[in-house]
């Protein structure tokens, strides 16, 4: 490292990041029992795949520790590595060996390919990290467990699991095993998995959460997921490099860069992604989350190293800053900040702490980012009028010197658990100078802000139960999770809340321009025109209704023009203008305003 003044931001960033990792690591291992088991406080189970993350963080912290501090960190890594080995069990009479609990304990909230991919990945890394420092007989059990799992399970799982992010997680374990022993069987399976991921990726760089052709049970599960997008990319980059392949090589460049570009497009100037682009909304207690940021950071920092694109460097740093800002004082990760109207997210903090291993792995790439990008990480720079259109995701990003705005067009079918809850219009508008949100997702007088809404017909219990009946049954599982964690009030109320949001809300006669599933899109200079309809919450259009919506940036912010061309038989129609709107003009069923 150079000693001139230009290195000072790098040193400062490293110290800041090491402190954050230390806090998360210490919070995570504070639940370590006398028997060496790391047990989740909420689920009261040993999350093997997440506990692997404590090993990576301990080893990374040990690199920058003095001898006295290093020894306990290495001992912890070896102890938890042995726990991974102890949890490798043969599946009955099957030749497969998998890491427990995996799918065997429902309170693990994971499955065998996720746990196994993470465990094998980390065991391989543990062997490589400590070779030369530990005796071979100490490391041999880790090597053997990694290879056994890869040869008997991962080589198959990466080719047949239905969710791309799960296949990609398994791929990291398979590649880590190959790096220990160059077995062509493992290599061939890994490269085939890479091809399959490329085949399911959309041309615009986005990934479906659970493709219909790979077995999704609901159309909404095939939607894009802001939460899962960076997982596939991060795992792919990691696996290719472990396989001795260059992710920036021509055969992988489009796959990797396309995914990174879409990830950047999801991200706001504060590093937070558009949470309303989400195939799995039931996971979250708010309209955004930051617990996917460790994967964002790793993918974007690696992207900077591979392609020298400063957008990736700045994106990684923005994601890092927002993740750090959401850590509790004791280092416990939070998915979002608590505010009125927000609730508890489904996953546990133990999961999120384990994922911080990917930030630890990104440290070298983060340190290579030049000082100008470090200084810009919280500062937005000006930009000419910009429109980015991601066709398969039907997402439009508009940007000028004042604002960045996201507009969604079509999306798959929805219910309370699957598919993005809003489309056919504005999702988010953010002022660039201070990161202020200009579009509050709230209701005024029963009407959603920045949407045409009203009522049509009466309550349809058939529509409601069709949309949410299965989700009410699933809510009994949510009750069990709350009960196990000692949240008895939430346990008792979970089915009622799911019935209200998953059945009653869909049965209700409320209709909205934001519920339309398939508007027509016309791109114009620095803007987009959408022609759609009013629709019930499940996306069914109100017959005869017609809405035209125009969104455009002009250098002074976002201009919005809303025209309700045909209201059909909808009663109680209204369109609440956002609180921070200016230049408001109303002319019957036409409304114009600016957000800046």
Taking only the tens place, the pLDDT of each residue in 39-79 is 999 999 999 999 999 999 999 999 989 989 999 999 999 99
Q: What's the rounded Cα separation, in Å, for the pair 173 and 102?
A: 15
> For residue 514, is it left (φ>0), alpha (ψ between -120 and 50) or beta?
alpha
Those residues whose C-beta lies under 8 Å from the C-beta of residue 288, and which sit 6 or more positions away, are: 272, 273, 274, 275, 336
In whole angstroms, what separates CA 16 from the centre of its chain? 24
In whole angstroms, what separates CA 532 from the centre of its chain? 29
Residue 379 has pLDDT above 50, yes or no: no
Residue 8 has pLDDT above 80, yes or no: no
Q: What's the rounded Cα separation, in Å, for the pair 100 and 103?
A: 8
For 24-36, letters b (16+ CB in 10 Å) and e give bbebbbeebeeee
> Can you give the pLDDT at residue 374?
62
Residue 1 has pLDDT above 60, yes or no: no
Residue 3 has pLDDT above 60, yes or no: no
Give residue for tokens 């002009």: 554
Residue 110 has pLDDT above 80, yes or no: yes
Taking only the tens place, the pLDDT of each residue in 277-292 is 999 999 999 999 999 9
> Can you give the pLDDT at residue 373?
65
The candidate with the shortest Cα–Cα distance to 567, out of 593, 546, 588, 587, is: 546
Taking only the tens place, the pLDDT of each residue in 147-173 is 999 999 999 999 999 999 999 999 999
SS3 letters across 5-44: HHHHHHHHHHHHHHHHHHHHHHHHHCCECCCCCECCCCCC
Residue count (the chain): 596
150, two tokens: 């890869």
> For residue 419, is it left (φ>0), alpha (ψ between -120 and 50) or beta?
left
**pLDDT tier for residue 11 given thresholds of 50, 70 and 90:** low
Those residues whose C-beta lies under 8 Å from the C-beta of residue 452, and which sit 6 or more positions away, are: 512, 513, 534, 547, 562, 564, 573, 574, 575
Q: What's the rounded Cα separation, in Å, for the pair 405 and 274?
A: 10
Between CA 256 and CA 263, with CA 259 as vertex, the angle to 5 degrees is: 135
Structural domains in the chain, CATH included, are 9-375 (1.50.10.10), 386-458+510-595 (no CATH), 461-507 (no CATH)
Contact 467, 503 (CB under 8 A): yes
**pLDDT tier for residue 14 given thresholds of 50, 70 and 90:** confident
Specify the pTM.
0.95
> Can you give the pLDDT at residue 6?
47
> Can you give the pLDDT at residue 5?
44
DSSP states along 464-483: HHHHHHHHHHHHHHHHHHHH
> Can you give the pLDDT at residue 40?
96
Contact 596, 403 (CB under 8 A): yes
SS3 letters across 38-94: ECCCCCCCCCHHHHHHHHHHHHHHHHCCCHHHHHHHHHHHHHHHHHHHHCEEECCCC
Give residue for tokens 């190959």: 178
In whole angstroms, what separates CA 343 from the centre of its chain? 18
Q: What's the rounded Cα separation, in Å, for the pair 291 and 277?
A: 15
**Across residues 519-527, what is the average pLDDT?**
97
Q: What's the rounded Cα separation, in Å, for the pair 309 and 302?
A: 10
**pLDDT tier for residue 378 given thresholds of 50, 70 and 90:** very low
Percentage, residues of the chain above pLDDT 90: 92
SS3 125: helix
């Amino acid at each position: 490292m150079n000693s001139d003044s230009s290195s000072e931001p790098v040193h400062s960033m490293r110290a800041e990041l090491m402190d954050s990792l230390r806090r998360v690591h210490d919070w995570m291992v504070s639940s370590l029992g006398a028997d060496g088991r790391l047990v989740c406080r909420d689920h009261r189970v040993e999350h093997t795949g997440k506990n692997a993350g404590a090993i990576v963080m301990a080893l990374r912290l040990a690199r920058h520790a003095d001898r006295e501090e290093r020894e306990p960190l290495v001992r912890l890594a070896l102890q938890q590595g042995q726990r991974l080995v102890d949890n490798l069990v043969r599946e009955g009479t099957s030749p497969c060996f998998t890491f427990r609990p995996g799918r065997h304990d429902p309170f693990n909230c994971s499955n065998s390919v996720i746990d196994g991919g993470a465990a094998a990945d980390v065991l391989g890394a543990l062997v490589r990290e400590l070779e030369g420092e530990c005796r071979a007989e100490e490391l041999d059990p880790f090597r053997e467990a990694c290879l056994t799992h890869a040869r008997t399970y991962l080589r198959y799982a990466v080719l047949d699991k239905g969710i791309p992010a799960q296949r990609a997680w398994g791929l990291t374990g398979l590649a880590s095993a190959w790096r220990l022993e160059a077995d062509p069987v493992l290599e061939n399976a890994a490269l085939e998995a890479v091809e399959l991921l490329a085949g399911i990726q959309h041309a615009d760089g986005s990934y479906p959460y659970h493709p219909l052709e790979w077995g999704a049970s609901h159309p909404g599960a095939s939607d894009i997921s802001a939460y899962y997008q960076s997982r596939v990319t991060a795992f792919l980059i990691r696996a290719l490099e472990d396989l001795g392949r260059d992710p920036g090589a021509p055969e992988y460049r489009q796959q990797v860069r396309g995914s990174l570009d879409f990830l950047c497009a999801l991200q706001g100037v504060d590093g937070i992604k558009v949470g309303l682009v989400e195939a799995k909304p039931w996971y979250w207690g708010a309209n955004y989350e930051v617990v996917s940021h460790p994967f964002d950071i790793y993918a974007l920092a690696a992207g900077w190293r591979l392609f020298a694109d400063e957008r990736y460097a700045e994106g990684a740093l923005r994601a890092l800053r927002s993740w750090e800002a959401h850590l509790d004082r004791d280092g416990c990760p939070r998915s979002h900040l608590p505010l009125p109207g927000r609730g508890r997210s489904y996953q546990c903090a133990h999961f999120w702490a384990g994922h911080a291993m990917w930030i630890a792995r990104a440290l070298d790439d983060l340190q290579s980012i030049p000082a100008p990008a470090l200084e810009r990480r919280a500062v937005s720079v000006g930009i000419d009028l910009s429109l980015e259109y991601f066709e398969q995701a039907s997402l439009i990003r508009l940007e000028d010197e004042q604002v960045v705005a996201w507009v969604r067009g079509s999306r798959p079918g929805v219910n309370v658990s699957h598919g993005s809850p809003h489309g056919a219009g504005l999702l988010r508008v953010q002022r660039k100078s201070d990161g202020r949100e200009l579009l509050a997702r709230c209701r005024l007088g029963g009407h959603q802000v920045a949407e045409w809404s009203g009522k049509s017909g009466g309550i349809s219990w058939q529509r409601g139960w069709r949309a949410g009946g299965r989700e009410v049954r699933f809510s009994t599982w949510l009750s069990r999770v709350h009960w196990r964690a000692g949240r008895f009030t939430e346990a008792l109320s979970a089915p009622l809340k799911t019935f209200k949001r998953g059945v009653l809300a869909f049965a209700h006669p409320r209709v909205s321009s934001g519920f339309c599933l398939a508007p027509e899109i016309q791109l114009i200079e620095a803007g987009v025109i959408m022609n759609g309809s009013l629709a019930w919450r499940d996306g069914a259009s109100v017959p005869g209704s017609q809405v035209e919506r125009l969104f455009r940036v002009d250098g002074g912010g976002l201009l919005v023009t809303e025209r309700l061309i045909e209201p059909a038989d909808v009663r109680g129609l209204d369109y609440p203008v956002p609180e921070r709107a200016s230049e408001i003009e109303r002319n019957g069923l036409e409304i114009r305003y600016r957000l800046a």
